[in-house]
Chain A
Amino acid sequence: MTARIALKSDVLIVGAGIAGCATALQLARRGKLVTLIERDQAGIRASGVNFGGVRQNGRDLRELPIAMRARAMWDELPGLIGFDGEFRATGNLRLASDEERVAQLDRFFTAATEQGLGLVRLDRAELKARYPWLSDRPIRGVLCPSDGHANPRLVGPAFAFAAQEAGATLIEHTEILEGWYANGAFHLRAADNRTFAAPMLVNCAGAWAGKIAGWFDEPVTLAPEIPQVQVTEPLPYRIEPVLGVMGGDFYLRQTFRGNILFGSGQGRATPDALRSRPLPETMRRGAEIAIAFIPHLAHVPIIRAWTGVDGDTSDGVCVLGPSETHPGLFHAFGFNGHGFLLGPAVGAVIAELILGGKTSTDIAGLGIGRFRPARKASAAPARGQHPDEERDASPEQNGAQNADRGSIGMERNEQAAGAHQRAEHGQDR
């Protein structure tokens, strides 16, 4: 057993997804010696395979402040990573097709508008007039014109590239198996027995981060979030906004090349969440909803489907901020299938916390403390401020599937709790 300290650094980051890479970039730019350790390749996991939605619309209000900060940063990508990530603000349109969902959407509209998010409310006639390809199904829409989409295949790796340019050290194909705190430093041991140490540690391990938090006495149960996306052949560019259907767990966008991407429901992953694949029943349901909302899509060939794995917390929002057990440790994970938008701001916030001990962004609702075991008995974390309770509680859609999915990297007894808590919420891109 060797214990060689491979590199000297101020900050270790586990996980080179968009969260880890953006954090590395910000810190490196401010002169920190950063070592970014990645099990596979940078940006190859959730960050590289997601649907590409850059969306504030319909966000849980606890995430809205960081979402709005993140959104502003997407305009600055050329300065940050040297290219625009193919981001375009084409708008995000959330649709509701029954009174209950309309009420939810309206509540979100009111609350988010109060927080300064620019939104446009559209009734059925306005929807039809603006978007002739829509069916009569939706009766209300809320458009967030500043939202849009980008190319995930390139953005994640571009952040990694920029972080390296700024001086961060990226170590790929290195899985961290163990971590501990001793003698004023965080220590990590990799699968090849190399060890790393630094006074600060950032946990950006995506779907696998709950276990890492556990090494430092604050475990978080993450259920695998396995969105499944289908893509059609290219069509003439007609569908500008990214669509999201309230409660239906359906989302759709058209790339500028013309391909239509749509997703709904979950694929399947191995228990270690390292491999995942699409499910035919999920594809079928997605196809059904696609036709219900855009009838002309009935004719279009699907050419491919894929999945990836993110981590779901039990209350639907991410874990972001300092550790409650170990000063110098920070967490940024559990993005519930919508952390792509947040990525750039996650880096900025964590960097502020590390460099100055505080952040200008309101992350009050996102602390890891909400998962402290002591509180678990009393109640699941407060859900009071969930205006976009747009999850379908029907067991076949979420509950049952989620219970099946268990949790990532946890022992069995922890898993049961996770599966149970999760049963209530679904996802949204």
Chain B
Amino acid sequence: MSGPRLQRVADQDRRLIEITVDGWAMSAMEGDTLLVAILAQRSYLREASGEPQGEMPAAGFCLMGACQDCWVWHEDGRRVRACTTYAEPGMRIRTTWPDHLLAS
């Protein structure tokens, strides 16, 4: 599955905003959580990755800030929980560990 995971079914008449995710421009709707913004475009929040511990692919689980499965990063390294953080215009998000952290 590579298309959008989440299907918008209501309240779709909202202002579009632009964010950047893993270097790609993405348009989201005002009021989207980061999780929704990303999963309305693609099927995963994080891909399987080697670091830090052979991550499994993930797309969130509880959407209520309980399972902690959906944390992503601002490009500058700040950590955010995608299901409880709203997308804001210009946000630059990455879903893999920012390599510069602890490296310099």
Residues of A at under 8 Å CB distance from B? 132-133, 233-239, 257-258, 294, 296, 299-301, 303
Contacts and interface: CB of A to CB of B under 8 A. Distances in A.
Contact of B102 (A234, A235, A257, A303): A235
B77 A299 contact: yes
B79 A300 contact: yes
Contacts of A294: 102
23 contacts: A132-B102, A132-B104, A133-B104, A234-B52, A234-B53, A235-B52, A235-B97, A235-B101, A236-B51, A236-B97, A236-B102, A239-B102, A257-B52, A258-B52, A258-B53, A294-B102, A296-B77, A299-B77, A299-B78, A299-B79, A299-B101, A301-B71, A301-B79
A105 B78 CA distance: 35
Given A132-B103, A296-B101, A236 B79 contact: no
Contacts, number: 38
A290 B97 CA distance: 20
Nearest to B78: A299
Interface string B48-59: 000111000000
Interface in B3-52: 51-52
Contacts of B73: 299
Interface centre among B68, B101, B103 (most CB of A within 10 A): B101
Nearest to B52: A258
Contacts of B77: 296, 299
Given A132-B102, A236-B52, 20 more contacts: A133-B102, A133-B103, A133-B104, A233-B71, A235-B97, A235-B101, A236-B51, A236-B102, A237-B52, A257-B52, A257-B53, A258-B53, A294-B102, A296-B77, A296-B101, A299-B77, A300-B79, A301-B71, A301-B79, A303-B68
Nearest to B104: A132
Nearest to B81: A301
A423 B67 CA distance: 43
Interface of B: 51-53, 68, 71, 73, 77-79, 97, 101-104
Contacts of B103: 132-133, 238
A300 B102 CA distance: 11
Contacts of A296: 77, 101-102
B73 to A, nearest CB: 8
Given A299-B77, A301-B79, A238 B102 contact: yes
Nearest to A235: B52
Contacts of A133: 102-104
In the A-B complex, the 4 residue pairs with the smallest Cβ-Cβ separation, listed nearest first, are A258-B52, A238-B102, A236-B51, A133-B102
A233 B71 CA distance: 11
Contacts of A258: 52-53
B66 to A, nearest CB: 13
Contacts of B52: 234-237, 257-258
B47 to A, nearest CB: 16
A398 to B, nearest CB: 31
Nearest to B97: A236
A296 B98 CA distance: 11
Contacts of A299: 73, 77-79, 101
B104 to A, nearest CB: 5
Contacts of B71: 233, 301
A377 B73 CA distance: 60
A234 B103 CA distance: 16
Contacts of A237: 52
A247 B37 CA distance: 47
A234 B52 CA distance: 6
Nearest to B50: A236
A294 B102 CA distance: 8
A234 B68 CA distance: 13
Contacts of A236: 51-52, 97, 102
A291 to B, nearest CB: 13
A302 to B, nearest CB: 11
A347 B96 CA distance: 46
Contacts of A235: 52, 97, 101-102
A300 B52 CA distance: 13
A85 to B, nearest CB: 21
Nearest to A260: B102
A235 B68 CA distance: 15
Contacts of B68: 303
B76 to A, nearest CB: 8
Question: For B51, B53, B104, which residue has the most chain A Cβ atoms within 10 angstroms?
Answer: B53
A413 B12 CA distance: 73
A132 B103 CA distance: 6
A235 B52 CA distance: 5
A294 B101 CA distance: 10
